[in-house]
Amino acid sequence: MIEIKNISKWYGAFRVLTDCTTQVEKGEVIVVCGPSGSGKSTLIKCVNGLEAFQQGDIFVNGTSVGDPKTNLPKLRSHVGMVFQHFELFPHMTITENLSIAQVKVLGRSRDEANERGMKLLDRVGLKPHAHKHPGQLSGGQQQRVAIARALSMDPICMLFDEPTSALDPEMVNEVLDVMVQLAHEGMTMMVVTHEMGFARKVSDRVIFMDQGSIVEDATKEDFFGKPRSERAQQFLSKILSH
Amino acid sequence: MLALDFAFFTPELISGYIVKGFIFSLQLTLVAMVGGIILGTLLALMRLSGRPWLVMPAAAYVNTMRSIPLVMVILWFFLLIPLVIGKPLGAETSAIITFTLFEAAYYSEIMRAGIQSISRGQVAAGYALGMSYRQTMGLIVLPQAFRNMLPVLLTQTIILFQDTSLVYAIGAYDLLKGFEIAGKNFNRPVETYLVAAVLYFIISFSLSMLVRKLQQRIAIVR
The verdict on residue B76 lying in a domain is yes
Mutate to test the interface with B, among A76, A91, A97 (most CBs of B within 10 A): A91
- Its domain, for residue B207, covers 11-221
Signed CA dihedral, B212, B214, B220, B222: sign only: negative
Report yes or no on B2 lying in a domain: no
The partner residue sitting opposite A74, judged by closest CB among B125, B130, B143, is B130
Task: Suggest the residue from B117, B129, B132, B142 to mutate for an interface test with chain A (most A CBs closer than 10 A).
Answer: B129
Whether B126 is in a domain gets the answer: yes
pLDDT of B221 above 80: no
Q: What is the ipTM of this complex?
A: 0.94
Q: Does a structural domain hold residue B19?
A: yes
Distance CA B25, CA A16 (A): 58
B121·A77 Cβ contact <8 A? no
- Yes or no, beta carbons of A105 and B122 under 8 Å apart: no
**A29-82, pLDDT tens digit by residue?**
999 999 888 999 999 999 999 999 999 999 999 999 999 999 999 999 999 999
What DSSP string describes A159-215? Answer: EEESTTTTS-HHHHHHHHHHHHHHHHTT--EEEE---HHHHHHH-SEEEEEETTEEE
User: Can you tell me the distance from the alpha carbon of A240 to that of A242, in angstroms, rounded to the nearest whole number?
Assistant: 6
Asked if B74 and B166 count as a contact pair (C-beta separation under 8 A), the reply is yes
Residues pairing with B42 in the sheet: none
Query: What are the backbone dihedrals phi and psi of residue A21, each rounded to the nearest 5 degrees, phi first?
Result: -135, 130
Residue B122 maps to a domain: yes
Residue B3 lies in a domain: no
CATH number of the structural domain spanning residue B43: 1.10.3720.10
| Count of domains for chain B | 1
Q: Is residue B71 part of a domain?
A: yes
Amino acid at B153: L
* pLDDT, tens digit, 9 for 90 and up, residues B107-162: 999 999 999 999 999 999 999 999 999 999 999 999 999 999 999 999 999 999 99
pLDDT, one tens digit per residue, over B157-178 is 999 999 999 999 998 899 999 9
Q: How many helices (H) and strands (E) does chain A have?
A: 9, 10
CB contact under 8 A, A100 and B124: no
The answer to whether residue B160 is domain-embedded is yes
CB atoms within 10 A of CB B67: 8
DSSP B170-189: GT---HHHHHHHHHHHTT-H
Q: How confident is the model at residue A123 (pLDDT cuts 50, 70, 90)?
A: very high
| pLDDT over 60 at B208, yes or no | yes
